[in-house]
Chains A and B, each alone.
Chain A
Amino acid sequence: MSDLKNLSWSVQQTVQPPPFEQLERRGVRRRRRRQALAGAGVAAAMVVAVLVTLLPLGEKAGTEQVPPVATVPTAPAPGSIEPLVPPEQSGDSVVRAQDAEVRSMMFATPSRWAAAWASCATAPCQYAAVLSRDGAKVIAPARRAPYATLQVGDEAIAVAGPSGEGFSADDRTWADAVLVRLTSKGKVETPLQYAPPTSTFTAGEILLDRVAVGTTLLVLNVADATLRRLDVAGLDHPRSPVRDETGRWWVVAGDVVSGSRSEIAWTDDGRTWNRTLLDPANPGSRIAVSPDGSTVVASSWVDGATAEAIGTLKMSTDRGSTWTSVADRPWARGGGPVAFNDGTAVMLGVSKQGQTALYRLADGKATQLSPGHPGLEELAGDGKLLYGQVLRGSAVTKVATSVDRGLHWREIEPR
């Protein structure tokens, strides 16, 4: 027998199948739920049909048609074409889809957040977002490009970029690019426009790296509703942008290919960048900064490892003047890190035995703090609120939050 088949045979011997009835019950429950939903849909359609027949809507002379529950009127972009997503596919149906999952989450304050959702039951995937502001909640329209959730001041916003490759001006999917805000007056949808690349950016503009295919760092100008590429000479593949309250932006940079040298870079004015070595032999992964900018943690990752094995974990408690390599770091990164103003940080780490745990980073070393919340997949936030998506079975519909730096957690479903 071949070595691989031999391995497969050995694994088979260790597998203990659960009782078939257990799976059968799960399947039957799902079937019934589907049938019940289909039944409810038919009933609702019949009610609508009856109402349409009985109520002579719009037939009286002089009566005004009730406008649809409107979002802010969105003027078509110059030269734009019809949106590519069929109008009947609403953001609501994406968010409520049976297979919908939370792709990203951003709490600007504990009561103001944005959650990006995806539904991939049909190809291509459809994306939408939910925005919540002090109890009010709205849903961003369905799009074919994923939404990024970002913080602008004390507001959480959602942005969907063009879904085409290459981030070019003539990409027809710009017609779908949109910036969605929830202000005190309600939902505001603004079409996003292409702007030519620049090598600098100004205070108040937002850096992001997750909104378009095939690009690295982008600049979002919320006031003009434009999105553009940031090309900084000598700064290769900048990513994981994060800003502290002093206005300083931090990134990790360097090629993404295995074995690449990586750097930590930062700028105070959007024009000149400072940099320091992160890892001479591994690509950069993530960088996190505390709100006051004093504590910074950055990591590199080792290629080939199946989880995100950490190459090095560097930490500064003096705004980047001096750096320490963190000892006893976890084998792989599970989420975070999140840096605090007091010179410490937390991250989800994976031990060599494969266990995920919450680690505290302080005084140049990592120590296991707690097992973390079961199923926690990501970690973001600050000293007041930690949060991250939770994986249950094969679904991610919940987000766990903690107000005591990870000791206790509660789950919400952000939709």
Chain B
Amino acid sequence: MAQDESLRDLYDGCYRRLVAQLYAICGNLGEAEDAVQEAFVRAVEKPRRFAQVDNPEAWLRTVALNVVRRRFRRLTRYRGLLRTAAASTPADAVPGLSPDHVTLVAALRQLPLEQREAITLHHIVDLPVREVALQLGVPEGTVKARLARGRARLAPLVREFAEDVEEVDHV
């Protein structure tokens, strides 16, 4: 079927990319893969709905992101953390990452989930702030604030953030 063909093409073309993006958010490769696979399974499960989607890759990313968020919320509840706490699954080692990248992943994992989401969608996926706001369902100002806080905390490790920590309106 043509639809399956196109989904397969999409799988070949963007599975790795989506996993890498989700990995930056959840910090666990297994969890990132589970989330992206779940998104593709749902695309197969509901072909008609998926066929109506304007931007299939964005749709898959949103579904995967929701899987990660749901799991994150559950972990936070299970672990008895109150609202101020951050929680996620344990880190796992990704073979072949340079020591700098291992440090950067560790630093990303120190950020609250919402800052990681904003940083990833804006600086890795390259979405403009407006689209990040739409995808996360929060006002643009909130996204800018999250980006500013996240960039400030990552500044010691990320060159481009060190250069302009002060700049908030990076669109």
Contact B109 A303 (CB under 8 A): no
Contact A18 B45 (CB under 8 A): no
Interface residues of A in 145-188 (CB under 8 A from B): none
Contact B104 A3 (CB under 8 A): yes
Q: Which residue of chain B is the closest to A25 with respect to CB atoms?
A: B44
Contact A256 B85 (CB under 8 A): yes
The minimal Cβ–Cβ distance linking A366 to chain B, given in whole angstroms, is: 17
Contact A8 B77 (CB under 8 A): no
Contact A305 B86 (CB under 8 A): yes
Total count of chain B residues near the partner, CB < 8 A: 69
Interface residues of B in 68-117 (CB under 8 A from A): 70-71, 74-75, 77-98, 100-101, 104-105, 109-110
Q: Which among B32-40, B51-59, B140-148 touches the partner chain?
A: B32-40
The minimal Cβ–Cβ distance linking A213 to chain B, given in whole angstroms, is: 10
Cα distance A34–B44 in the bound complex, in angstroms: 13
Contact B29 A30 (CB under 8 A): no
Contact B80 A286 (CB under 8 A): yes
Contact A8 B24 (CB under 8 A): yes
Which one of B20, B45, B89, B93 lies within 8 Å of A9 (CB-CB)?
B20
The minimal Cβ–Cβ distance linking B156 to chain A, given in whole angstroms, is: 11
Cα distance A286–B27 in the bound complex, in angstroms: 25
Contact B123 A4 (CB under 8 A): yes
Contact A17 B16 (CB under 8 A): yes
- Residues 3-39 of chain B, each 1 if its beta carbon lies under 8 Å from chain A, else 0: 0100010011001110111011001110001110110
Contacts of B35 in A (CB 8 A): 394
Contact A240 B80 (CB under 8 A): yes
Which one of A13, A23, A389 lies within 8 Å of B44 (CB-CB)?
A23
Interface of B, secondary structure class, is helix
Contact B44 A26 (CB under 8 A): yes
Contact B94 A306 (CB under 8 A): no
Contact A306 B91 (CB under 8 A): yes
Q: With an 8 A cutoff between CB atoms, is A332 at the interface?
A: yes
Cα distance A8–B17 in the bound complex, in angstroms: 8
Q: With an 8 A cutoff between CB atoms, is A285 at the interface?
A: yes
Contacts of B95 in A (CB 8 A): 14
Contacts of B80 in A (CB 8 A): 239-240, 285-286
Contact B41 A15 (CB under 8 A): no
Cα distance A353–B78 in the bound complex, in angstroms: 21
Q: Which residue of chain B is the closest to A214 with respect to CB atoms?
A: B83
Cα distance A103–B77 in the bound complex, in angstroms: 8
- Residues 1-20 of chain A, each 1 if its beta carbon lies under 8 Å from chain B, else 0: 01111111111111101101
Q: With an 8 A cutoff between CB atoms, is B160 at the interface?
A: yes
Cα distance A285–B8 in the bound complex, in angstroms: 46
Contact B20 A8 (CB under 8 A): yes
Q: Which residue of chain B is the closest to A3 with respect to CB atoms?
A: B158
The minimal Cβ–Cβ distance linking B137 to chain A, given in whole angstroms, is: 11
Q: A30-B45, A101-B74, A356-B90 are in contact. Are A14 and B96 (CB under 8 A)?
A: yes
The minimal Cβ–Cβ distance linking A408 to chain B, given in whole angstroms, is: 23
Contacts of B70 in A (CB 8 A): 120, 394
Instruction: Give A residues with C-beta under 8 Å from B.
Output: 2-15, 17-18, 20, 23-24, 26-28, 30-31, 34, 101, 103, 120, 237, 239-240, 256-258, 285-286, 301, 303-308, 332-333, 335, 350, 353-356, 377-378, 389, 393-394, 396
27 A–B pairs (Cβ distance < 8 Å), ordered by A: A3-B158, A3-B160, A4-B119, A8-B20, A8-B23, A11-B23, A11-B24, A11-B29, A11-B94, A17-B16, A23-B44, A24-B4, A24-B44, A27-B40, A31-B46, A31-B47, A256-B82, A285-B81, A303-B85, A306-B90, A308-B85, A354-B28, A354-B92, A378-B78, A394-B38, A394-B71, A396-B74
Instruction: Give B residues with C-beta under 8 Å from A.
Output: 4, 8, 11-12, 15-17, 19-21, 23-24, 27-29, 33-35, 37-38, 40-47, 67, 70-71, 74-75, 77-98, 100-101, 104-105, 109-110, 119-120, 123-124, 157-160
